[in-house]
């Protein structure tokens, strides 16, 4: 799928958009409300990682209640996103109906809004979604209008069947044409959403193929998946998280790399792994979309997800994504530049033994561009710390040291 250069795709995407937006002689319009969404990485909860296809209206209402009761809403988790499997069939006029799990989407949206939250939904440009439910192909404007009428605030748009059913059927063996079709499909929904006049976050899900970071922002994407699906194992989280190095220059207010939703609290992840996962996603300015079992969340998981200092790293107003400072043995050292000249440093022990195999690990501040002892705050203990050059750092298996330095030298 790499045949068509991403620069070409970016040009293509903006050509589609400007052709539609510019009518000679008309005055400039005021900025689109879409420009105002996702000024920091979206935060919320999505149904897929815990419920997958089992999610119901009742679960979404319970999640809304829990986001409020646990303090997660007040910590910033605003979007309550329904993933795949809410769809039934279209009627004779093409209107897509909800299935029996979601008897009244407008009433559900009203309920979610009444809790001070926003609501998201899921579809895709193909005839079917990844779960085999009805997609939006040929009904983009109609669906976008319906979402706006329901009061939807966020759309995740998942490529899936568009690949075999449109790209491969219409342009067999022509990768460039396949890519053109894919970009056109995302442009189509982007324009349909804009035409509703409702600010709706547009989340592109096409698994990071063909450098979406280079073309997705030009077509109005607020976030784009950079990888295939996450799962609740340390190995998958580490592979995804650490492969984000180098993507930092593509992210910024209104447009974010999306290394997929959080697995904090899911599967058999240890608390150290949950902490490292959350820290790394914060360093990456990643969307923080929790995906855990909210009614049964343990106090330890809640403490991780609502750690305000770590959330503040993720939501930093400068919007500069962090990147790898250096890696040594099985130790990853990441840095992120923050507003006001501050800096966040994360040291993660990826070794599968109980201790660093590179033990003892000594932090090299010069490799991070820092000189001499740095005063900071350990964001997981809440204590003041000093980072000095060559200091030994002791971390248990898959654990993290995350430090904020307000005045780095």
38 or 205, CB closer to ligand GLA?
A: 205
β-pair partners for 335: 323, 345
Cis peptide before 360 (omega within 30 of 0): yes
Q: What is the CA radius of gyration of the chain?
A: 22
The stretches of 156-268 forming alpha helices (DSSP H) are 162, 168-170, 175-195, 212-215, 234-242
CB of 132 to ligand GLA, least distance (A): 8
The total of other beta-carbon atoms located within 10 Å of residue 404's CB is 21
Instruction: Count the helices and strands in the chain (H runs, E runs).
Output: 14, 18
| Cα-based distances in Å from 359 to 231, 280, 381, 393, 397 | 29, 22, 22, 9, 12
Residues binding ligand GLA (CB under 6 A) = 48, 83-84, 129-131, 158, 205, 229
Q: For the CB of residue 195, give the shortest distance to ligand GLA in the complex, in Å.
A: 25
> Which residue, 84 or 332, has its beta carbon nearer to ligand GLA?
84
Q: Shortest Cβ contact with ligand GLA: which residue?
A: 130
120 in Cβ contact with 108 (< 8 Å): no
Q: Indicate the residue among 132 and 341 with the shorter CB distance to ligand GLA.
A: 132
Phi, psi of 79 (to 5 degrees): -90, 125
Considering beta carbons, is residue 129 or 274 the nearer one to ligand GLA?
A: 129
Backbone angles phi and psi of 239, in degrees to 5: -60, -45
Compute the least distance from the CB of residue 224 to ligand GLA, in Å.
12
Q: Which is nearer to ligand GLA, 3 or 52 (CB)?
A: 52
* Catalytic annotation, pick one of 57, 84, 153, 158: 158
Nearer CB in complex with ligand GLA: 108/130: 130
Tokens of 198: 């409702």
Among 298, 307, 283, which Cα is nearest to 381's? 307
CA 302 – CA 409 distance, rounded (Å): 34
Task: Write down the least CB distance from residue 293 to ligand GLA, Å.
Answer: 17
Cβ proximity to ligand GLA, 228 vs 300, nearer residue: 228
Spell out the residues 6+ positions from residue 32 whose beta carbon is closer than 8 angstroms to its own.
Answer: 194
| Strand, coil or helix: 317 | coil
CB-count burial class (<10 Å; 0-12, 13-18, 19+) for 324: middle
Annotation marks residue 158 as catalytic: yes
Contact 279, 312 (CB under 8 A): no
State in angstroms the smallest separation of the CB of 229 from ligand GLA: 5
The C-alpha atoms of residue 8 and residue 119 are separated, in whole angstroms, by 34
Q: For tokens 């319906």, name the residue.
A: 146
- Tell me how far, at minimum, the Cβ of 332 lies from ligand GLA, in Å: 25
Nearer to ligand GLA, 84 or 248 (CB): 84
Of 65, 174, 229, 309, catalytic: 229
The span from the CA of 39 to the CA of 37, in Å, is 6
Tell the smallest beta-carbon distance from residue 126 to ligand GLA (Å).
12
Q: Take residue 237 and report the two structure tokens written for it.
A: 């989280």
406 part of the active site: no
* Residue 370 beta carbon to ligand GLA: minimum distance, rounded to whole angstroms: 38
* Best CA proximity match to 154, nearest among 144, 162, 142: 144
The residues assigned a catalytic role are 158, 229
């Amino acid at each position: 799928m790499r045949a068509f250069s991403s620069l070409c795709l970016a040009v293509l995407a903006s050509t589609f958009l400007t052709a539609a937006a510019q009518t000679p002689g008309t005055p400039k319009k005021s900025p689109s409300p879409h420009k105002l969404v996702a000024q920091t990485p979206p935060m919320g909860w999505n149904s897929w990682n815990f419920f997958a296809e089992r999610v119901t209206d009742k679960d979404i209402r319970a999640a809304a209640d829990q986001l409020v009761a646990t303090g997660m809403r007040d910590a910033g988790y605003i979007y309550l996103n329904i993933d795949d499997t809410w769809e039934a069939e279209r009627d004779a006029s093409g209107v897509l109906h909800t299935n029996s799990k979601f008897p009244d989407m407008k009433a559900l949206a009203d309920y979610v809004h009444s809790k001070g939250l926003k609501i998201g939904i899921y579809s895709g440009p193909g005839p079917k979604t990844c779960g085999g439910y009805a997609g939006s192909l040929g009904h983009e404007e109609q669906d976008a209008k319906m979402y706006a009428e329901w009061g939807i605030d966020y759309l995740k748009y998942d490529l899936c069947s568009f690949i075999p059913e449109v790209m491969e059927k219409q342009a067999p063996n022509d990768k460039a044409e396949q890519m053109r079709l894919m970009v056109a499909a995302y442009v189509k929904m982007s324009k349909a959403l804009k035409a509703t006049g409702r600010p709706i976050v547009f989340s592109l899900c096409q698994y990071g193929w063909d450098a979406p970071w280079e073309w997705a922002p030009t077509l109005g994407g607020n976030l784009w998946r950079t990888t295939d699906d996450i799962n609740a194992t340390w190995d998958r989280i580490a592979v995804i998280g650490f492969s984000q190095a180098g993507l930092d220059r593509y992210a910024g207010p209104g447009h974010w790399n999306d290394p997929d939703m959080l697995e904090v609290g899911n599967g058999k992840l240890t608390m150290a792994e949950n902490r490292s996962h959350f820290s790394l996603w914060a360093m990456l300015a990643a969307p923080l979309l929790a995906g855990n079992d909210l009614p049964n969340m343990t106090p330890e998981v809640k403490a991780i997800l609502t750690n305000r200092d770590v959330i503040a790293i993720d939501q930093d107003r400068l919007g500069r994504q962090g990147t790898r400072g250096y890696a040594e043995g099985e130790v990853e050292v990441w840095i992120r530049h923050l507003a006001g000249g501050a800096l966040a440093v994360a040291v993660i022990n990826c070794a599968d033994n109980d201790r660093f195999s590179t033990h003892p690990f000594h932090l090299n501040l010069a490799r991070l561009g820092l000189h001499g002892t740095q005063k900071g705050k350990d964001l997981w203990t809440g204590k003041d710390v000093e980072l000095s050059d060559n200091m030994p750092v002791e971390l248990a298996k898959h654990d993290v040291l995350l430090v904020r330095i307000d005045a780095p030298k």
